[in-house]
């Protein structure tokens, strides 16, 4: 199957997903289950990575400012901008593509190879709508909160790195993060996050739903889905940046 | 009652079903047997509506498959139960939730009413104290029983089983066979079983359809299969020495 066929099949899958849930009670249960699995269980890794990456950005910026004419507040400013523009929405989405993407592909793929999806279809359940729609809603609504948390923790991590290393003053860092705050950049980051969340939930679902074979193929599909999710995120990131910031 | 009239199913160039006609009555256990590649699975999937035959018709209690609207097909799906070869229980749900799933999806009943029905069917398959266990905690035989419970919880008119004994020890196989037969008779369900198990053929086959190369090579009851002189059936069913001796003993008795 060539790439164009895959793209066509992916959009046909989306057509099946976006239908009215057959039973809202069942849909809500599935939605809360997915919020827990895909969102709440990702808080730990996003918090951990954000804090340390924020620290690294601040330290590296500080190390690269040797000219005494450049104000030290640039460290806080650069950390804030890097985190809001790229690190939080894109880097965190790539981390989530690895963690959540492989989970989605392997769970749906296992359901496929063990005939659980056939069982749903035979019962008369729209399996794509039942399995994938709660994942999309859960990620699209929850990930912006996760990314905002990542932004705060990364900026906090930068502050903590400065305090612990004595490489810059706290006052300079605080002045830097307060300097020239542009709310549109946060909106830009959240728009990107919502689109990346959609990609993170649908591309791995596609790979899992159409897997053929056994457990080995499910493993291969998980790896492929992570790779393709990252590729799609990176391409989407480029076009979104061009559309929203230029 | 299911009536199959001259169905053909092709996949590209390959014609897998080459014109099969037969009928399956309610309250009877109907077995489809044949070598691997004979078309059993495609035939069963055609009966389930997962494959659409290019030619021929399948009539379910007077409803012709080719004339069914999307709504008819949706209603029809709720009238059938399926037991898969690997049970196909939902891993993330416990026994009670697995069996309750079709009720939650399609019935407008209170949780208490649904739970009552679930407990009733679980009792019927002798699984009364396993409500909160997950599929991974159950033996193969128990998983099959949960699958049967889930298949009958909606009071289906048709029950389809794909190799229900696969991977089970002989005594559990007999238990599952007997359970399917009892349920079929008790609820007057039209049951169609795809099997390789010759014990099932002898024990519960009210009607046996033997497929070979996409065609119906023979059909009859489990008693008639002892007497048949159809060499293809004899070669397949009595391929083991044990069954050969059983057949000889039966024929000598007659």
pLDDT digits (tens, 9 = 90+) for A171-228: 999 999 999 888 999 999 999 999 999 999 999 999 999 999 999 999 999 999 999 9
What radius of gyration, in Å, describes the C-alpha atoms of chain B? Answer: 19
Q: Which residue has the higher pLDDT, B132 or B232?
A: B132
Share of chain B above pLDDT 90, in %: 50
Q: What is the pLDDT of residue A218?
A: 96
Residue B239 to residue A3: CA distance in whole angstroms = 49
C-alpha A13/C-alpha A206 separation (Å) is: 8
User: What's the pLDDT score for residue A146?
Assistant: 96
Q: Flag whether B130 is in a domain.
A: no
Paired sense of beta strands B55-60 and B63-64, if any: antiparallel
Q: Chain A within 8 Å of B77 (Cβ-Cβ)? A: yes
B91: which chain A residues are within 8 Å (Cβ-Cβ)? 110-111, 114, 116
Measured between CB atoms, which of A23, A118, A119 is closest to B104? A23
Query: What mean pLDDT is predicted for residues A50-66?
Result: 93
Give residue B217's domain range: 1-79+194-254
Find the mean pLDDT for residues B20-28. 93
Mean pLDDT in residue range A105-117: 95
For chain A, give the longest Cα–Cα distance. Answer: 72
B91 touches chain A (CB under 8 A): yes
Q: How far apart are CA B10 and CA B25, in angstroms?
A: 27
Coil, helix or strand for A199? helix
SS3 content of chain A, % helix, strand, coil (to 5): 85, 0, 15
Q: Tell me whether A215 touches chain B (CB under 8 Å).
A: no
For position B169, what pLDDT does the model report?
A: 85
Residue of A111, A113, A119, A135 to mutate, testing the B interface (most B Cβ within 10 Å of its Cβ): A119
* pLDDT tens-digit map of A61-76: 999 887 888 888 999 9
Is B110 part of any domain? no
- If one counts every other C-beta atom within 10 angstroms of the C-beta of residue A39, the result is 20
Burial profile B118-132: b = 16 or more Cβ within 10 angstroms, e = fewer: beebbebbebeebbe
Which of A123, A125, A127 to mutate to probe the B interface, most B CBs <10 Å? A123
pLDDT confidence bin for A28, thresholds 50/70/90: very high
Residue A30 has pLDDT above 90, yes or no: yes
pLDDT-wise least confident of A117-131, B21-35, B166-180: B166-180
Closest residue in A to B70 (Cα) is A124
CB < 8 Å from A in window 12-71 of B: 48, 50
Mean pLDDT along residues A90-98: 95
In the predicted model, is pLDDT for residue A7 greater than 80? Answer: yes
Q: Which helix (H) or strand (E) holds A13?
A: helix A3-17
B170 CB within 8 Å of a chain A CB: no
Number of H helices, E strands in chain A: 10, 0
Interchain CB distance below 8 Å, A122 and B90: no
Record: contact B82-A26, CB cut-off 8 A: no
| Domain CATH for B25 | 3.40.50.300
Is residue B92 a part of any domain in this protein? no
- Measure B67 CA to nearest chain A CA, in Å: 18
| Residue B85 covered by a domain | no
At residue A85, the pLDDT reads 93
Q: CB-CB: which of B82, B86, B106 is closest to A122?
A: B82
pLDDT at position A2 is 85
Residue B233 lies in a domain: yes
Q: Which of A72, A71, A75, A35 is nearest to A58 (CA)?
A: A75
- ipTM of the modeled complex: 0.84
Q: B57 lies in a domain?
A: yes
In a domain, B125, yes or no: no
Q: Do A115 and B74 touch (CB under 8 A)?
A: no
pLDDT digits (tens, 9 = 90+) for B80-131: 999 998 889 999 999 999 999 999 999 888 999 999 999 999 998 888 889 9
**8 Å CB contact of B88 and A22:** no
| Best residue in B96, B106, B162, B164 for a mutation probing chain A (most A CBs within 10 Å) | B106
| Backbone φ and ψ of B191, nearest 5° | -105, 130
Interchain pair B85, A115: CB under 8 A: yes
Residue A26 to residue B104, Cβ atoms within 8 A: yes
Q: Is B104 on the interface with A (CB under 8 A)?
A: yes
Residue B251: pLDDT above 80? no
How does pLDDT run across B150-160, given as a tens digit for each residue? 999 998 999 99
Q: Check CB contact under 8 Å for B106 and A26.
A: no
Asked if B52 and B228 count as a contact pair (C-beta separation under 8 A), the reply is no
The secondary structure element, H or E, covering residue A169 is: none
Please state the domain count of chain B: 1
Whether chain A has a CB inside 8 Å of the CB on B74: the answer is yes
| Mean of all residue pLDDT scores within chain B | 89
For residue B198, what pLDDT band results from cuts at 50, 70 and 90?
confident
Q: What are phi and psi of B20, to 5 degrees?
A: -105, 130
Residue B155 forms contact with A (CB below 8 Å): no
From B86, B91, B102, residue closest to A123, measured CB to CB: B102
B118 occurs within a structural domain: no
Query: Is the Cβ pair A114, B101 closer than 8 Å?
Result: no
- Neighboring chain B residues of A118 at a CB cutoff of 8 Å: 50, 84, 88
Q: Strands B207-212 and B215-220, how do they pair?
A: antiparallel
**At residue B5, does pLDDT exceed 90?**
yes
A20 close to B (CB below 8 A): no
Verify whether the Cβ–Cβ distance A23 to B85 is below 8 Å: no
Nearest CA in chain B to A117: B88
Q: For residue A65, what pLDDT is reported?
A: 86
Return the axis-axis angle of helices B95-106 and A116-123, rounded to nearest 10°. 30
């Amino acid at each position: 199957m060539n790439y164009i066929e895959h793209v066509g099949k992916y959009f046909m899958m989306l057509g099946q997903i976006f239908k009215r849930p057959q039973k809202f009670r069942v849909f809500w249960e599935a939605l809360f289950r997915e919020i827990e699995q895909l969102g709440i269980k990702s808080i730990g890794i996003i918090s951990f990575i954000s804090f340390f990456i924020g620290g690294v950005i601040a330290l590296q910026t500080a190390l690269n400012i040797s000219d005494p004419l450049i104000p030290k507040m640039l460290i806080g400013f650069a950390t804030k901008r890097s985190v809001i523009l790229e690190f939080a929405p894109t880097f965190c989405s790539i981390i989530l593509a690895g963690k959540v993407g492989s989970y989605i592909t392997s769970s749906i793929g296992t359901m496929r190879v063990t005939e659980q999806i056939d069982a749903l279809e035979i019962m008369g359940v729209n399996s794509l709508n039942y399995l994938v729609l709660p994942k999309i809603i859960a990620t699209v609504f929850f990930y912006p909160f996760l990314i905002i948390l990542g932004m705060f923790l990364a900026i906090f991590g930068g502050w903590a790195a400065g305090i612990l290393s004595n490489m810059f003053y706290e006052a300079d860092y605080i002045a830097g993060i307060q300097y020239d705050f542009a709310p549109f950049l946060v909106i830009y980051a959240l728009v990107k996050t919502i689109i990346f969340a959609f990609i993170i939930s649908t591309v791995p679902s596609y790979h899992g739903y159409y897997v053929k074979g056994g457990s080995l193929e499910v493993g291969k599909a998980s790896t492929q889905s992570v790779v393709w999710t990252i590729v799609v995120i990176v391409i989407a990131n480029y076009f979104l940046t061009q559309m929203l910031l230029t | 009652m299911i009536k199959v009239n001259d169905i053909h199913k092709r996949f590209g160039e390959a014609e897998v079903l080459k014109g099969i006609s037969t009928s399956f009555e309610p309250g009877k256990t109907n077995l489809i047997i044949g070598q691997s590649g004979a078309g059993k699975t495609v035939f069963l999937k055609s009966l389930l509506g997962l494959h659409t035959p290019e030619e021929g018709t399948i009539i379910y209690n007077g409803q012709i498959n080719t004339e069914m609207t999307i709504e008819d097909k949706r209603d029809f799906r709720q009238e059938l139960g399926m037991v898969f070869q690997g049970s196909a229980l939902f891993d993330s749900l416990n026994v009670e939730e697995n069996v309750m799933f079709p009720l939650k999806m399609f019935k407008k009943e209170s949780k208490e009413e649904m739970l009552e029905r679930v407990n009733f069917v679980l009792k019927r398959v002798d699984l009364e104290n396993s409500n909160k266990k997950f599929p991974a905690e159950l033996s193969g035989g128990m998983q099959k029983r949960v699958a049967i419970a889930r298949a009958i919880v909606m009071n289906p008119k048709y029950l389809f089983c794909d190799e229900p004994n696969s991977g089970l020890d002989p005594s559990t196989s007999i238990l599952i066979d007997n359970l399917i037969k009892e349920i079929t008779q008790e609820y007057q369900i039209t049951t169609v079983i795809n099997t390789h198990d010759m014990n099932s053929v002898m024990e519960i086959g009210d009607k046996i359809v033997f497929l070979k190369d996409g065609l119906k090579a023979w059909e009859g009851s489990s008693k008639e299969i002892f007497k048949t002189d159809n060499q293809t059936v004899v070669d397949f069913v009595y391929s083991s020495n044990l069954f050969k001796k059983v057949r000889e003993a039966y024929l000598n008795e007659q």
